Amino acid sequence: GKSIFFKGLFFVAETNKFVDHDVILRSNDNDYNLPKSDIKTNQPAFDKEFDLYIPDASKSTLPSQVDQSLLENLLDFKHFIHNDLFISLIGNKIYIGITHEKDLFEPHLFTSNQSFDYMNLHFQDIYFPINVIQHLVDNTQLEPVKVS
């Protein structure tokens, strides 16, 4: 039978900048059987919720593009959406995956779509990856996760 490896939103961006070396950041509470790594950031709260994997065993630090501001925003966003989050920086490409069990782009036919919380969740699902990509490419300041 057909098996699903990932269900959710998946973004891919190609840039004209290359990361120092490849890196994969992912929520550590998933069942995807991906390699584990002992590499830690200097943020215990982040390390508790995310696994960091660097395929090149000779590298043991984050690429310069992955700064403390980005790590804090990833953690805030994961707490906001309560779903697994994956980010890979490979060469000049950025991959962002946000797991969801719901069909996000299917309208609710028998309930209202006018809930601010419901609309805000959809907005953040689209806006957050764009904000992260812009930060990584242009070194712009990341904006806060929550919209009030």
Question: Each residue of 58-81: pLDDT tens digit?
Answer: 777 777 777 888 888 888 888 877
What is the reported pTM?
0.76
Q: What separation in angstroms does the CA of 17 have from each of 64, 90, 91, 138, 139?
A: 12, 11, 8, 9, 11
What is residue 137's predicted lDDT score, i.e. its pLDDT?
Answer: 72
Question: Each residue of 10-47: pLDDT tens digit?
Answer: 889 888 877 778 888 888 866 656 666 667 788 889 88
- 119 band by pLDDT with thresholds 50, 70 and 90: confident
Q: What separation in angstroms does the CA of 91 have from each of 14, 21, 51, 122, 137?
A: 9, 7, 20, 29, 12
What is residue 20's predicted lDDT score, i.e. its pLDDT?
Answer: 78
- 4 band by pLDDT with thresholds 50, 70 and 90: low
